[in-house]
Amino acid sequence: MYCYNCGTELPDNAAFCQKCGRPQNPHADPAQGRWETCEIVARWETGLITDSYHFEAEAIGPHGPYVAARSRPWKEIAHTPRWKVLDNTNQRAGGIVKELISDLIKDGWESTGERGSNWENYRFRRQVRK
């Protein structure tokens, strides 16, 4: 099935669109169930000696995309392969993602229970704030 609002392909039983947050029942009251969504993604900046890493919660709200939250940064030696820094066995990366998740929950976000293709791609939603 496809989102009634933005056309994103969705699972057949989706109640809300992961991209725009709109309810998928065409007869639903649009004032109810207005959600914004976000997904945690990894970001890095390459330097000469060290690479700097952080995670961001990329959100889509009623006014378009924005960064809902950003983790604290950490640095690794530049010649360390990115997959060794950003995989789910890296304790520093895992701890930083857990901190970011905690910050999102404190800010009213709730887990959708869905995940993206990478280990850190947790997805969240919250009702649109007026």
pTM of the model: 0.70
Residue located via tokens 């280990």: 119
**pLDDT, position 129:** 76
Number of domains in the chain: 1
State which amino acid sits at residue 64. G
Q: pLDDT confidence of 105, banded at 50, 70, 90?
A: very high
Q: Please report the pLDDT score of residue 37 as a whole number.
A: 94
Cα 59 to Cα 40, 77, 122, distances in angstroms: 9, 30, 12
Range of the domain at 74: 40-107
Residue 91, in any domain of the structure: yes
In a domain, 46, yes or no: yes
Q: What residue type is 30 in one-letter code?
A: P
Q: How far apart are CA 55 and CA 71, in angstroms?
A: 5
What distance in Å separates the CA atoms of residue 67 and residue 121, rounded to the nearest whole number?
A: 14
Please give the average per-residue pLDDT across 70-84, as a whole number. 80
**Considering the domain boundaries, does residue 13 fall inside one?**
no
| pLDDT score of 114 | 92
Q: What is the pLDDT of residue 55?
A: 94
Taking 90 as the threshold, does the pLDDT of residue 77 lie above it?
no
- Please write the tens of the pLDDT for every residue from 8-40: 778 878 888 888 887 776 555 555 558 899 999
CA contacts within 13 A on the Cβ side of 37: 18
76 lies in a domain? yes
**How far lies 105's CA from each of 12, 27, 70, 108, in Å?**
27, 30, 13, 5
Q: Is the pLDDT of residue 57 over 80?
A: yes
Please report whether residue 122 resides in a domain: no
Per-residue model confidence (pLDDT) at position 93: 86
Is the residue at 90 inside a domain?
A: yes
Q: Is 56 exposed, middle or buried (0-12, 13-18, 19+ CB in 10 A)?
A: middle
In a domain, 29, yes or no: no
Q: Is 54 part of any domain?
A: yes
Tokens of 17: 């669109």
71/57 Cα distance (integer angstroms): 9
